[in-house]
Amino acid sequence: MSKATFAIIAAAGAATGAAATAAYYSATSRRPSPASSPAVTTTTTTVSTPSRTTPLPPIPAPFSQLKSLTTAPVDPTGLFQYGFPGPIADLRPVASLISSFDRRTRNPHWVAEHITPQSLAAHNADRKHSVFVEDSSIPEKFRGKLKDYYRSGYDRGHQVPAADAKWSQEAMDDTFSLSNMCPQVGEGFNRDYWAHFEDFCRRLAGKYPSVRIVTGPLYLPKREPDGKWRVSYEVIGSPPNIAVPTHFYKVIFAEDGMAGGNVALGAFVLPNTHIANDKPLSDFEIPLEGLERASGLEFAEKLPLNRRKRLCAEVPCSIIVKDYKERQRSIAQIAQQGKRN
């Protein structure tokens, strides 16, 4: 990713909003993409659930795509007889979410959820019965530990919030796994602005019959006094092993409920720091392409442009400041409104 792209995303996350990013990408999107050479790509995915042991990753075998090695004096692929180094995506599909875990940072790459007016209307769970747990499906040496957060100064920040999974106690319990957590600043962010942002997502279910949300961490560069850009983040734990993200993102897909219908799409990047409650949420909206460049992920490659609508052009992108108890009471009201619509 170019320095300009990083700068714009970081600026949007900190203060300036979408105007600069939109201008930048409207210009760069017209530039022809350089031709790329065919490449052999190998990915390994481990699908795991809390009830079974993570299987050993399969050894990749894209040999049919490689040139014959019969005349070569070396065989680099011989390494695979001892195992495949990775990276490995630990997929965790459970009832309330699906996530991909990053073993290097001990944080998720992304966590996806689905909310509807019906799911928010149900009240079959209580978070007082849920407890934070380590994800035993991830190899012990790579997983986040409860002790890593102890006296760290950071909250165990849900990526999929517990309040979105009240339709069953099991579903809510699944949100308390540490593979659904990242270190988040507490006062002023996780317990304040970020919580109001989560409430905004739930309020969308009052207008749309189906809302899908992808949430995850970012590690963005910052321009130092010497003019150079560097990525710097804190690491917590004993020994230090869980990375503290500099930013968090959400990609929102608000579906109109029609087969092949329109999808109101919004991408947001927020800094992991205190944010004043009077800060407009629209200031954190960025082009989806910018988020994809920053994260290395693709979120909507199969969604045609003619089905996409800009979320903040369809609904007011603004938070409503409430205390915690008020936010809990509002969830049922949002769900009932969605049913009436």
Query: Residues marked as binding for Mg(2+)?
Result: 190
Q: Which amino acid is at 32?
A: P
Question: By the 8 A CB rule, do 333 and 320 touch?
Answer: no
- Retrieve residue 69's tokens: 């090695």
In 3-state terms, what secondary structure has residue 263?
Answer: strand
Question: By the 8 A CB rule, do 49 and 137 touch?
Answer: yes
In 3-state terms, what secondary structure has residue 224?
Answer: coil
Strand partners, 91: 47, 100
196 is catalytic: no
Give the span between the Cα atoms of 232 and 245, in whole angstroms: 9
Give the span between the Cα atoms of 211 and 204, in whole angstroms: 7
Give the span between the Cα atoms of 266 and 174, in whole angstroms: 26
In three-state form (DSSP H/G/I as H, E/B as E, the rest C), the secondary structure along 153-216 is CCEEEECCCHHHHCCCHHHHHHCCEHHHEEEECHHHHHCCHHHHHHHHHHHHHHCCCEEEEEEE
Its sign, for the CA torsion 153, 97, 331, 197, is: positive
In three-state form (DSSP H/G/I as H, E/B as E, the rest C), the secondary structure along 278-294 is CCCHHHHECCHHHHHHH
φ and ψ of 14, to 5 deg: -85, -40
Binding residues: 190
Cis bond leading into 57, ω under 30°? no
The residue annotated as part of the active site, out of 114, 129, 158, 274, is: 158
Its sign, for the CA torsion 33, 34, 35, 40, is: negative
Could you give the residue numbers annotated as active site?
158
